[in-house]
Structure formats: C-alpha cells, structure tokens
Amino acid sequence: MTTSRSADAVAAAAALPGPLVGADWLAARLGEPGLVVFDASVGAHRGADRRIPGARPFDLDGALSDHDAPAPHTMPRAAAFEEAIRALGVDDTSTVVVYDGAGIYSSARAWWMLRAMGFDRAAVLDGGLPAWTAAGLPVEACGPAYEGPRGSFTARPRTGLLVDADAVGAALADPAAVVLDARTRERFTAAAPEPRAGLRGGHMPGAVNLPFGDLQRDGGLMRPAGELREAFAALTGDRERLYFSCGSGVTACVLALGASLAGYSSLAVYDGSWTDWAMRPERPAVTGRRGQFFGASEDRFTGPTTGDERVMLTDVLGAQRASWS
C-alpha cells in the first residue's frame, strides 16, 4: 500500500540543505514523519550494539550488494534494490539521512546508490555516529531488524553514475576527464598489499590519488566546500568530468560526496573499482607514482621521483591502447 505524503514529510524534505547534514540538523528532526535514518556501517562497525534512535540497517555487506558479482559491494539490479529499500519502509516522498559507525566511510556509498536509482531526497550525516555521540546526542541499543510497514520506493536508474571498466578505460584516455583513486597512497603505489588475498597491487595508468581521508578534518567531518574545491582542482585542473575508484566502490563515494559539495556535477563511481580492474588480466596496472604528477597537498617539484616523464607518458599511452582494445 502506498503511504500518503504528509505535510510533515514535505517539510522535512524541504529543509534538507544538501547532500550533507550536521548532527544538530538531524537531532532537531529525529522522529518526524517521513524521515528515515539509515545505518550503513560495514565491516567491524556492522551490527554494533548502539545506534541513533530509530535507525534502520542499510546492509551493504548483505542485501544491498549483488553477491553474484565477482567484486564485493557491487550495486544490485534495480528490481532487487527497489525491493530491499521498500522492505526498509522508504517511500518516494521520504527524506533519508545515512550515517555509519566509522564517520564518513560507507554512508556515502548508500547515498550514492540512492542517487543512482533516481532518489535525491537523501543526505549523509557529517561525521557519522562518532560526531553524533561526541555532541552528547542520544543512542539506543540495537534491536531486531526493521519490522515496520513497507514503503513505496520506486527505482528509477540513472545511467552514468555507476560505471564499469570500459567506461573507466575510456575516461583514462579522455583529456577532458580524470580518474581519482580514493585508496591510501600506500595501496595506490603498491607499497602496501591489497586487503583481498591474491589481488595485484598498483593503480590504473593515468589515475591520480586522492585518499578519501584527505577530504576530512578533525572529528571525521568533511572539509568546507572551498577547501574541497582546492583539493580537487590541484589534481584535476580545469577538467570537470570526474570518475572515482577505490578498493570496491565504497570510499570512492566519499570522493563523489566531496566533489558534489565542491560544486562539481559530472561525476561517476566505478562500481567494483580496483578489485574489478585488478581481476581483469587485460587491464594494465602500474606501481609507484607513475601516472600521477603530484598529490593534492604536495609540491610537484620537491621530493624524490620514481620515474621520468617518458615513463609516465608510456603508461598513459598504454592505458589508451587498453581502452581501445
């Protein structure tokens, strides 16, 4: 049964200030009709013993990933996503706030998935559960899974927000686009191994590294919009078409959130990300800092180099050839 759109639900949605809300904003509206709060924690934070009162589980390790796909955290098909979101009581008129137990980590993935399915009435809680508790706001013991009424959510997939290896390969060869990798610098350069056993390390030739943590300040809060714009511009120049990758498509969405706050609009997330790319032997990979000229907060003319310009250009041309094959 489709629920009616109440005046309170309209008011809550109208007040949504953008893709990011603070703990004070959510605390002032908690419990309002039409407002749904999701806990999208993954890994060690999944199934924690406390939650924001009334929060429902957005289970990225469970029903809200396609477990038939080779890479973890792959977006489910539209029908499966719609069913899962309806089962969580979300209507097309709901206002959704997503948080996670780490701060801003996996919550941005849930927000981006909703956007990819045509739902714009969602935001990420700035700083997540740590910011909520640091503000002295109430939590409750986690109860059973959501057992309330079903929602009327309708999936309306948008093309281009979640993309595959072919699209990323084309972006690497496109002078108007840039691929940004949200993993740590150690994983990007292959100085540290990938957490998935047997997965090769390194990065896509031509990709640049912007660790998702660089977009956050003390307390796990997102940096102001002006600082975010500077961080992206240092790597992208005047390119406005941005593609994001990470280990499995989760923290890439933190970059998508940061870019949205910074005013960029042509954004795409590589679903499957480095896990998907590295599992494909035909896709090239490089190690060290080849393919990236300088970092977001680094001086490109200082420090040791790991390769000359000819090597970097060879890597980029290799990526272009791979995208044509």
For 221-244, the pLDDT digits (tens) are 999 999 999 999 999 999 999 999
- Residue 144: band (very low, low, confident or very high) from pLDDT cuts 50, 70, 90: confident
265 has a pLDDT exceeding 50 = yes
Helices (H) and strands (E) in the chain, counts: 11, 12
88 and 56 in contact (C-beta within 8 Å)?
yes
Q: Which two tokens stand for residue 318?
A: 């290799």
Among the ranges given (26-40, 108-122, 211-225, 297-311), the one the predictor scored with the smallest mean pLDDT: 297-311
Catalytic residue among 246, 262, 269, 319: 246
- Residue 143: band (very low, low, confident or very high) from pLDDT cuts 50, 70, 90: confident
Burial of 213 (0-12, 13-18, 19+ CB in 10 A): middle
Structure confidence at residue 322 (pLDDT): 35
Q: What angle, 0 to 180 degrees and rounded to 10, lies between the N-to-C axes of helices 252-261 and 225-236?
A: 110
Q: Is 142 an annotated catalytic residue?
A: no
188-221 pLDDT tens trace: 999 999 999 999 999 999 999 999 999 999 989 9
- Residue 315: band (very low, low, confident or very high) from pLDDT cuts 50, 70, 90: very low
Among the ranges given (1-10, 76-85, 166-175, 180-189), the one the predictor scored with the smallest mean pLDDT: 1-10
H or E element: which one contains 99?
Answer: strand 95-99
pTM, rounded to two decimals: 0.86
Tell me the H-state helices in 61-151: 78-87, 107-116, 128-134
